[in-house]
Structure 1
Amino acid sequence: MTVQQHHPLSTGADYQQLAARFRPIFARIADGAVERERQRSLPYEPIKWLKEAGFGAVRVPVEYGGAGASLVQLVQLLIELAEADSSVPQAWRGHVAFVEDRLNAHATSNQEIWFQRFVAGELVGNAWTEIGAVKIGEVGTRVSRQGNQWVVNGHKYYSTGSLFADWIDVYAQRDDDGLDVIAAVSTHQTGVHQSDDWDGFGQRTTASGSTVFDNAVVSEENIIDFSTRFKYQTALYQLVLIAVLAGSGRAALRDFSHEVRQRTRIFSHGNAPRVSQDPQILQVIGKVSALVYAAEATALRAAAPAQRAYESHFEGNAQAEHEANVAAELESAQAQVVIAELVLRAANDLFNALGASATSETKQLDRHWRNARTAASHNPLIYKERIIGDWEVNGTEPPYIWQIGNGSTAA
């Protein structure tokens, strides 16, 4: 009997059929993107449309009611969604990771209850990072026993997407034994307090603000040993961000191409009676089209090792799984480095195709650069470049988990 007969896997769907389900929703999301950006209005309604359409279950195996999409296909969908509104797929990032963790956990324990929740449209946000006086390697959020129930107490920031979520994937420590855990906390209770206090200049509507847990109740079965977390999680988080970047590049190309087609004002020292016929302007657009094409192709290539890591987890071949996890981490890092450069260059150079009117706040064309710059600032590129170089020269494996916090005070 094959592994798939024991455990139905998500190895791929008909992409065009899958995308056709969501493209009308993506178009509706795109219609309101500029106004949401201008007003800094959170995309509650677009998130609701996606939940109702089953977007949160695209990775769930078909046998459990999902779409059975591969990770490459998920990244492709996220790129299309990011072209509509780059904040929305980033708001989905915590859900993507938690779904993947439950898919991997199904190899050793039944996860049908979670699959049912995903298929029903329940969304998972995340709350991992703490700011303030927390030292690197420490976590202040605690899970403790209180009477006959478990509760979570702590303060998180960068809780991306959690304002839209039914559950929050919370990184914490147990009080009783000090173990690092994931607590899957329901947001439908009084002990969870959320704020939209994210003030970045880009990705403004990702709902990446604060979450405070004040004796928030968590079921014992939803306290998960962090050591069991799926190994390619850092790579997957990065794949969502590079999809955001690639989609931002597509959106910038789309909007500037539209502006060039519509523009009637020309310069006396230009090359044609219409901007849309000026060969130098067309060269700018053509070059950027190639940059964006390369970014998207790289993103899709980078997702393949993560899919191999997922499938190999069920095959009983530890060496193959290890090699796939190494490749997932390295290729997502390589993609991050080059895609950030490609898309930031594209979003900047496109302004050469228009005049000063392109900087009008009404048009919000600058949002593409701001959003790309913000997404590219996650997980510093300089460290990823060093890690890649250390692998190429010394064969040093990349870290799968890393943390951020306060360092030691200089003497």
Structure 2
Amino acid sequence: MTTTFFSTGTDYATLIARFRPVFARIAEGAREREQQRILPLELIRWLKEAGFAALRVPKEKGGDGVSLPQLFQLLIELAEADSNLPQALRAHVAFVEDRLNAPEGPERDRWFRRFLDGEIVGSGWTEVGEVKLGKLNTRVTADGNAWRLEGEKFYSTGALFADWIDVLAERSDGGGTVIALVSTRQPEVERLDDWDGFGQRLTGSGTTRFYQARVEGEHLYDFANRFRYQTAFYQHVLLATLAGIGRAVVRDVTDSVRKRKRVYSHGNAGQVKNDAQVLQVVGNIASQVWATEATVLRAAQSLQVAYETHLSDDEVRLREVNILAEVEAAKAQTIASELVPRAATELFNALGASDTRLSKALDRHWRNARTVASHNPVIYKTRNVGDWLVNGTEPTFIWQIGQGE
């Protein structure tokens, strides 16, 4: 009889005590990295050394066995230190989740050992240019017992820092859509730092090219077998990132108001820190961010239920928990996408024109929040919520982007 090990949680106080010193080191250089476009290669190494890659690996397999609410709480704190990092590691935590949902066996254990060794996974799903909606130009072709991968991806978040890339591709033999895990330790994989977005500049989200890159036979997976709550899971990483940006806004506005010396003649106090209107702005920002974080963590509970139910043979129950996870993620996105960019704008109402200087880089919070909030368009998520509530229409679990008619 096969024993199934679940990741249902650990002592969070002990866990975060291990990571907070690392997060503090990360936060120290965040502004400088933003200003000088310094990629977080060293920071990724720090996280690897702290065991980040194996957080969700079950305790019985050597990992921390954290629950999903605990994982996203940790990502929120990481995002407060530097919002680029949770997004850069988004594909990694998602692939770990996929392996947690895979059948027990030697292949899964090999991946667990890689995670324990600190190996991480980057993303290679999205294509740009002349690709029709629902189609892929990236192909894998059989080569003996292995496969050869040919194609180009953009928005390949985290690929610059990864040991492996999770690539969405089509089999050239007509066998359908697959996930190919390709090692970056080969010259046939080219990774470029050409992401030119106005926010989240250091996530490694540029172009990745594959020139007949080798993929081992055991590293090709049918996309249809991916874990069922994957869309909600991917969104939750972005939600945690937004909540962390919000916490950084609270941190910076509080510190700036406390230290600010210049006052206006028509203000309300001799010191900014005693100005009732300024304090009201800080209180509003803190309340908006608190509500966002609470919403994200509440929604994460439904993801944990979906994970713990994934082995059930009750299809009705599986449908219910996966719909709930998707709908709650969409609701949380609606809240976070509204409140965090607002908080990053309100920050300047508590300060002055001098705080708009590039040297302070406070604008990065709004730019980063707006960039994250642009993923998985919120207008379609809110429509899904309304359509489910009113008409019982299931939310969109899997979607793609490409050229329209």
Q: Which TM-score applies when normalising by structure 1?
A: 0.97
Give the Å deviation of 1:305: 1.0
Q: Is 2:297 the counterpart of 1:295?
A: no
Q: Which residue of 1 aligns with 2:45?
A: 48
Q: Which residue of 2 aligns with 1:263?
A: 260
After superposition, where does 1:2-401 map in structure 2 within 5 Å?
A: 6-106=3-103, 111-147=108-144, 149-401=146-398
Residues 133 and 406 of structure 1 are in contact (CA less than 8 Å); yes or no, is this contact kept in structure 2? yes
User: Could you say what secondary structure the match of 2:258 adopts?
Assistant: helix
Give the Å deviation of 1:109: 7.5
Give the Å deviation of 1:41: 1.1
Residues 295 and 332 of structure 2 are in contact (CA less than 8 Å); yes or no, is this contact kept in structure 1? yes
User: Could you say what secondary structure the match of 1:6 adopts?
Assistant: coil
Between the aligned partners of 2:157 and 2:395, the Cα distance in structure 1 is 25
Report the count of equivalent residues.
405
Give the Å deviation of 1:178: 3.3
Residues 169 and 184 of structure 1 are in contact (CA less than 8 Å); yes or no, is this contact kept in structure 2? yes
Gaps of 5+ in 1: none
Between the aligned partners of 1:305 and 1:109, the Cα distance in structure 2 is 29
Partner amino acid, structure 1, of 2:273: S
Between the aligned partners of 1:107 and 1:399, the Cα distance in structure 2 is 29
Between the aligned partners of 2:13 and 2:295, the Cα distance in structure 1 is 20
User: Could you say what secondary structure the match of 1:111 adopts?
Assistant: helix
Between the aligned partners of 2:368 and 2:146, the Cα distance in structure 1 is 42
Give the Å deviation of 1:388: 0.9
Give the Å deviation of 1:179: 1.1
Instruction: Compare 147-156 and 287-296 and name the one that shifted more.
Output: 147-156
Residues 145 and 216 of structure 2 are in contact (CA less than 8 Å); yes or no, is this contact kept in structure 1? no
Q: Which residue of 2 aligns with 1:406?
A: 403
Residues 145 and 217 of structure 2 are in contact (CA less than 8 Å); yes or no, is this contact kept in structure 1? no
Between the aligned partners of 1:175 and 1:52, the Cα distance in structure 2 is 39
Instruction: Compare 332-341 and 319-328 and name the one that shifted more.
Output: 319-328
Between the aligned partners of 1:9 and 1:178, the Cα distance in structure 2 is 32
Partner amino acid, structure 1, of 2:85: V
Q: Which TM-score applies when normalising by structure 2?
A: 0.98
Give the Å deviation of 1:319: 2.3
Between the aligned partners of 2:165 and 2:343, the Cα distance in structure 1 is 35
CA spacing shift, 1:36–1:17, aligned 2, 3 Å: same
Percent identity over paired residues: 61
Between the aligned partners of 1:192 and 1:116, the Cα distance in structure 2 is 24
Residues 298 and 335 of structure 1 are in contact (CA less than 8 Å); yes or no, is this contact kept in structure 2? yes
Instruction: Compare 265-274 and 193-202 and name the one that shifted more.
Output: 265-274
Between the aligned partners of 2:326 and 2:104, the Cα distance in structure 1 is 22
Residues 9 and 68 of structure 1 are in contact (CA less than 8 Å); yes or no, is this contact kept in structure 2? yes
Residues 94 and 230 of structure 2 are in contact (CA less than 8 Å); yes or no, is this contact kept in structure 1? yes
Between the aligned partners of 1:183 and 1:279, the Cα distance in structure 2 is 57
Between the aligned partners of 1:110 and 1:156, the Cα distance in structure 2 is 27
Give the Å deviation of 1:45: 0.6
Between the aligned partners of 1:335 and 1:97, the Cα distance in structure 2 is 19
Partner amino acid, structure 1, of 2:337: A
Give the Å deviation of 1:108: 7.6
Give the Å deviation of 1:314: 2.4
Between the aligned partners of 1:108 and 1:394, the Cα distance in structure 2 is 42
Between the aligned partners of 1:122 and 1:254, the Cα distance in structure 2 is 32
